[in-house]
Structure formats: C-alpha cells, structure tokens
Amino acid sequence: MRTKNPPAPMITAPSAVLIEAESGRVLFAKNKDAPMYPASITKIMTGIVALEKGRPDEIVTISQRAQAADGTRVYLVKGEQKPLLELVYAALVNSGNDAAIAIAEHVGGSEAAFAALMNEKAQAIGARHTHFVNASGLHDPQHVTTAYDMALIAQYAMRNPTFREIVQTKRRPWTGQEWQSELVNHNRLLWEYPGATGVKNGFTTKARFTLVASAERNGVSLISVVMGASSSAVLYRETKALLDYGFAVAPNLPPAPWVLAENSVAKREGKSVVHAASSSAEGTENGTWWATLFAFAKRVGKGLVGVGLLGLIGVGIVWIARAVVRRLVLCRRRRQAGVHHRYWGAYTTRHIPPRHNLYRE
C-alpha cells in the first residue's frame, strides 16, 4: 500500500520542473514550457557537445575573442593552449565564459557554427522549445529555452560518464598562463545537499538566477530545474524543496504512468502548476499491459460510480418535486372544498350561511 504523498512545495520562481532521471517522468512542473533565458546553464549543452564532437586531449588555442569574453572567466590569454578537457572543466565547474567561447571556436569553427550544433543536438534530444545563440549563456533575446527542455538536456548529458564526473567535481587545480589557482564549483548543492551529483547554475540580470540540479538517494535519481528565481537564496531553497519532494514522492508512484494533479494553492494564485499525484496512473508510457488494464478498469469504475451518484441525485430531485406538486394540488382541492388542514392553514369558506340569514328576526 502506497503512503500518502506530501504536499507539493510552493515555488515562487516563474518556471520549474522536477523529473526522474531514469524514466524522465515529470514529478512536478510549473510553467515548464514557458520560454526563459538560461544564463550559464547553457554550458551544459556546450560541455556535452564538446565531449561528443571533440577528443579530450585535443589542444585548443585561445583567440582574442575568447580572451575578451564578458562575465565570469578563468582568464585565458590569446595564444594560450589548453587541452579541450581542461576547458570543459573550466566552463562547467568555474563557469568560464572565455573557456566556453574557446571550446565553441575550436569544435565548431566559430561560435555561431557551434551554436548550430547545439541546436541540432537539442532537437535530437527532444528540447523543441530551445534556441541557442552562443556557447556561454550571455544574454541575447534569441537565446531561449524552457525548464523542461533543460531537464531533458541535463538528463541526456548526465548519461555521459565524463560529463557526470566533471559536474560533480568540487575543486580542481588550474594552471593557466595568467591565473594559477583552482577551479571551484559554483553549484552550492554539492556542499549543502546530501546526494547531490551536479549539474550547473547561472545568472544574468535578464535571466535572474537559474539552476539545473541532480541528486541521487536510495537508487532514485532526480533532476530539477528552477529558472528566474529572485535571489540565490530562493534558488537553492526551492531547489532543495523540489528534490526533497521528489525523494518522498518517487518511491510511492506506481510502476505504470502517473497522474499529474494541479497544485491547489498555486491554482488559487492563477499559476499553472502540476505535481505527481498519489492516485492511479493514466496512459501507457513506461507502463506494462497489466498496469494499463488496471488503470483503464479503475477509470471505468470511477465512471460507473459517478453515473450512479448522478442517477440517485436525479431520482431524489424528481421524487421531491413530485411530492411538492402533489401537496400543492391537494391543498388547492381542499381550499376549494373549504376543508381545514392543520399543516396548510384553516380555510374560512366552509359552509358560512349568508349574512341576512344570521340576523333574520
């Protein structure tokens, strides 16, 4: 017997989604298909395309354009040479925009050509509402994605062992021509949330705070995406709440597909929110024939119960209406006959003699 699921968390960020990493089924969603600016979570796609299209030991020569990148950098210098794998670490762990541009120019020939490869991969993964313009995530009005698309991209990327190892790296030594220190992962969940395994955070003034997170406990793997959070504190608090909810819900879900139920609190606020319900499942995705048959039988049973209740209500209404009409008709007949009735009042028309007969001498 499945236990009752906890209430879904209230997410203030404009868009969020939580999925099971293995099956891909959605456990929670809020405006999951709304177009959003991704910021540096773009580098998830940058990293996986680089690992698939290039070799880790390829030597990348840094261009002037990469050196002049805006935002977070690892301070690459024009003419400096670094192995491709090191640049992927720099982009995913330390969120280096200069490293992302260097990767794009090396693998794609130009950042625009590399963005085309990113979009091609997004379509192949199933991220239908995504359009990348650059490899770093720096703001561009045409550079958009959705929370659900980013969950699909992260799900795909985390199946690559090298990518998975990179995004769960907390610290890594870095020896550059201008900067010799260590790469420190910007994803705070790796330190703060037990079971966290990745993947990437981001921020721009237009995108606000974004985070794609993955975690694993007791054989359950989850991927959450929160986009457009008002602050870093809100971002991580709501991501943790989503993951906690997912780990509580996932073991209680049936093996067949599930029902997405609307969050009633969010509904009152006019937001589009769905979360995994503890009731039966619908559909056939990831299900078996017996589970599908059970779900169908349960739906039919619910339908029959509903029809029965409506029938009883209808019979009751007809019976009450019939009784009222009969009583009104009876009352009218008694009034015409001048009969006194204790429930419907005394009628004074019963056998009253004419006035002149009462006072006749």
Q: Which residues are known catalytic residues?
A: 40, 43, 95
User: 345 forms bridges with which residues in the sheet?
Assistant: 341
